[in-house]
Amino acid sequence: MTETLILLQKKMEAAVRALDFEEAKRCRDQISLIRSGATAVEADEADFSGLKRQQPGAMGLGTSQQRMTPPPGWKPPPKPDLLTSGRTPRRGKRKP
């Protein structure tokens, strides 16, 4: 398995030198699959055409997460009235 990784690494480096970045990307993805436990045959047959890598965010903790977008037609709920929400009306004044 390490021989396969070495061959793929060399193939990837040669593709980068030749400015063939698509081939280098395929080699990188195959190396990643093999390192995660797939066999060389499985990595060779894998289809990466529908995959899109997550774009890196700004520096800092938690910034690499994608920004959430609401579904079309979604409206935020109305804000509650702070003068009337959560309070019960008083039935009368207390006597001291």
pLDDT string in tens for the chain (96-residue length): 678 888 889 999 999 999 988 889 888 888 888 888 878 787 777 777 666 665 555 555 655 566 778 889 989 888 877 777 666 666 666 665
- Residue 82 counted as domain residue: no
Rounding to the nearest 10 degrees, give the CA dihedral for residues 32, 37, 42, 43.
Answer: 10
Number of domains in the chain: 1
72 occurs within a structural domain: no
- CB-based contacts of 26, cutoff 8 Å, min separation 6: 48
Q: How far apart are CA 25 and CA 13, in angstroms?
A: 11
CA dihedral 33, 20, 6, 45 (to 10 degrees): 40
Q: Which domain holds residue 19?
A: 2-44
Length of the chain: 96
Does some domain include residue 95? Answer: no
Report if residue 89 sits inside a domain. no
Residue 30 forms part of a structural domain: yes
